[in-house]
Chains A and B, each alone.
Chain A
Amino acid sequence: GAVVSQHPSWVICKSGTSVKIECRSLDFQATTMFWYRQFPKQSLMLMATSNEGSKATYEQGVEKDKFLINHASLTLSTLTVTSAHPEDSSFYICSASFSGEGADTQYFGPGTRLTVL
């Protein structure tokens, strides 16, 4: 149980274009979803937290207008990288949690490798 999928698993795009990454909880209702960016040497940076039906809460230093997060349903959150540039190339990972017992545990998607040319 508690499976999270991400799509696409990898994407290559041209500089200036926008890319959308989907994160789905397949067998549970995700009250909260998190988006991370993973840098070389494995460091994991929390970008934002989103609750279903409300605006995402962004971490300090993360541009809201550049990284658009939508959490429209209890099973789907999307991250759109707008006007992508080479410095946005990274591994993006989402995670999800549910309410109630076990709400402190996150279930991660497999990640999306974004390469901006």
Chain B
Amino acid sequence: GNSVTQMEGPVTLSEEAFLTINCTYTATGYPSLFWYVQYPGEGLQLLLKATKADDKGSNKGFEATYRKETTSFHLEKGSVQVSDSAVYFCALSRAGGSYIPTFGRGTSLIVHP
């Protein structure tokens, strides 16, 4: 079956540091890949997505590249801000009637001033 594995958190960084959150997946075929972000006390929001190999999704300074050869979709940001503190979920979605999603367990990011 499908699965998503992302690095354990929390990840603690100082402001302006470089961020990488690793995500690898297992799926048959060609899923779409996503990063969702959850700010404290809120629901999840789509951060970025990529639908095919070598696509790069980007938003708000965050980037992730769909790497089929390594089945990875690592999230990166060159300079984090305190306001980026949140929980980040890697996910995949495959056509199967209703695009049933598979989520990773989430990685908490804490950015200190």
Contact = CB atoms under 8 A, between A and B. Distances in A.
Contact of B49 (A34, A46, A95, A105): A105
A interface secondary structure, majority: strand
B4 to A, nearest CB: 11
A6 B43 CA distance: 10
B100 A49 contact: yes
Given A103-B99, A104-B99, A111-B41, 16 more contacts: A34-B101, A42-B87, A42-B106, A43-B106, A44-B103, A44-B106, A46-B103, A49-B100, A104-B93, A105-B93, A106-B44, A106-B46, A106-B101, A107-B46, A108-B45, A110-B43
Nearest to B91: A106
A107 B34 CA distance: 12
B101 A42 contact: no
30 contacts: A4-B43, A32-B99, A41-B105, A42-B38, A42-B89, A42-B108, A43-B105, A43-B106, A44-B44, A44-B89, A44-B103, A46-B100, A46-B101, A51-B98, A95-B44, A97-B98, A97-B99, A103-B99, A104-B32, A104-B49, A104-B93, A104-B95, A105-B34, A105-B46, A105-B93, A106-B101, A108-B43, A108-B45, A109-B43, A111-B42
Interface residues of B, number: 25
A103 B100 CA distance: 10
Interface in A84-101: 93, 95, 97
Interface of B: 32, 34, 36, 38, 41-46, 49, 51, 87, 89, 93-95, 98-101, 103, 105-106, 108
